[in-house]
Structure 1
């Protein structure tokens, strides 16, 4: 296998793992022989799934239908969004727990500070302009309900990384999300086994969701220590850290474990908008990259994969493992909760 000289970013990340081989062995996560084989050079490049962070916010207002439509036109097949609950119990797509940054709530409701999502009804939120702050071309864009968002993602033939945003603020939202997914037709085999991942920073909420729907694929947002990973593997299929937390040793620790569906844990790093950094992460073996400019990151990864100086055709056949296979493959069937 021929390996090109590593970029500066890649070299720094790989260098950080030198002398750390004994760590994983001491944790019982892998063998010294396997680690030595992997550390003979930079890991073979693979193509992670590239996920549009809140759609394509570099070109359209985040977490709107316009944003995922723009992502679709650019060929972005996976999109990420955040779900929260209104005062009267409706599920909407919104990242911030307050409304003023991405809508005209401050102007429309000047006496309602601090404009918390949970202090407004759906009818009030549906009056807000969620697009003009980004560009006047998007004036009149609305905050979508989860149901409308799910149906548009389906219409676009996209796949979804759904974040439960601050679920501690919304008791019982896990069951409500399950009900919403069911109503929108997202709990069938096609979606559950190849087109949906639910993630959160809140491990307790993820455990609750896993109890309700053990067939759902879940991801924990964060970078637990290697010694803590096994406990997460009992209920999540992915560990999704900030890219700054990703090191070769940590990637190996995650990949050494299997999640609740019997497949090795995956890693989706966020938020990556630099092509060289994305290439470095791909060479370290991450399975997904979440980006505000997903189409540009995909182009950078494609260019890196196509470079003939990296791997010969025969080497690619045997050594390259694609993130698409990991995300798109069917999970073993588990009993569905009633």
Structure 2
């Protein structure tokens, strides 16, 4: 048993008492012996405008299997893929729809959002890129034979977003055995949102975005399969403490950390034993931890 594992084991035992823990060798096997998986954050967003189909394709061209995205709902209830809760930073909404401040996603219809240029802000060659609907995004990821880490964004602003997201996933064929078993994770910063997904589709792999206290991890393990924290909030002891617990599907909890964009940090967090690293520049991370 390594010093890292022994220290984490003692800490977890002291804090959570009777919770079922995995043997140390199993916990280590969950991530620390293999190179971490690499996730293209909002697509390969260092190279193409975030959350666009171009960013999905950029990740494909780099050979990155996993892409991460964000889903929100329009005023008319359509699931669209965009990160910010406002449209100002990554589209020309202020020019196309002056007087509609603060240009919140939920204040615009899907048809209105489809008019916006979501690429010119990043570079002239991406002029005319659009904010994709979730259905359009899923079709592109499917065409590329990629995998999806899907974030439900600001769920408190969108009552029912979990149900609508799952509906679109189902209609697009993403809730069959292959996708659920190997190609899909649904995550959120909202614990209740993750719980809702788990209740509505217990077979779907889920992740919680954040860094819960070690003492609170058993409560999260009841409804999630991953704890996905910022890299600035973790160390090897925390990663080991997470991995020594079984998640909602009876497997070791995984740790995917974000957002790492340089080789030195990638190597450091890989040394912590994380299972995955989320990056705007996934090729840089992949080459650093290979």
Secondary structure of the equivalent of 1:106?
helix
Q: 1:25 aligns with which of 13, 24, 27?
A: 13
* Cα distance, 1:34 vs structure 2: 5.4
Please give the residue correspondences for 1:194-273 in structure 2 after superposition, counting only pairs within 5 Å: 194-273=182-261
* Cα distance, 1:30 vs structure 2: 8.6
Secondary structure of the equivalent of 2:128?
coil
> 1:62-82: per-residue Cα shift (whole Å, max 9, x none)?
000000101101101100000
Q: 2:278 aligns with which of 277, 281, 290?
A: 290
Rounded to whole Å, the distance in 2 between the matches of 1:30 and 1:259 is 11
Relative to structure 1, the CA distance from residue 250 to residue 113 in structure 2 (aligned partners, 3 Å threshold; closer, same or farther) is same
Q: Which has the larger radius of gyration?
A: 1
Q: 2:101 aligns with which of 113, 129, 137?
A: 113
Confirm or deny: 8 A CA contact 2:236 2:271 kept in the other structure.
Answer: no
Matched, 1:60 2:42: no
Rounded to whole Å, the distance in 2 between the matches of 1:239 and 1:219 is 6
Rounded to whole Å, the distance in 2 between the matches of 1:30 and 1:86 is 42
Confirm or deny: 8 A CA contact 1:46 1:282 kept in the other structure.
Answer: no
Confirm or deny: 8 A CA contact 2:7 2:237 kept in the other structure.
Answer: no
Q: Which residue of 1 aligns with 2:63?
A: 75
> 1:241-279: per-residue Cα shift (whole Å, max 9, x none)?
000111121111101110111100000000001112111
Q: Which residue of 2 aligns with 1:90?
A: 78
Structure 2, unaligned runs of 5 or more:
none
Please provide the CA RMSD for this pair: 2.1
Structure 1, unaligned runs of 5 or more:
1-13, 303-338
Matched, 1:192 2:180: yes
Please give the residue correspondences for 1:79-158 in structure 2 after superposition, counting only pairs within 5 Å: 79-158=67-146
Confirm or deny: 8 A CA contact 1:55 1:81 kept in the other structure.
Answer: yes
Confirm or deny: 8 A CA contact 1:255 1:266 kept in the other structure.
Answer: yes
Rounded to whole Å, the distance in 1 between the matches of 2:12 and 2:285 is 31
Q: 2:263 aligns with which of 266, 275, 283?
A: 275
Confirm or deny: 8 A CA contact 1:258 1:264 kept in the other structure.
Answer: yes
Q: Which runs of 4+ in 1 moved over 4 A?
A: 17-21
* Cα distance, 1:24 vs structure 2: 2.4
Rounded to whole Å, the distance in 2 between the matches of 1:19 and 1:131 is 48
* Cα distance, 1:45 vs structure 2: 4.9
TM-score (norm 1): 0.79
Confirm or deny: 8 A CA contact 1:24 1:30 kept in the other structure.
Answer: no
* Cα distance, 1:22 vs structure 2: 3.7
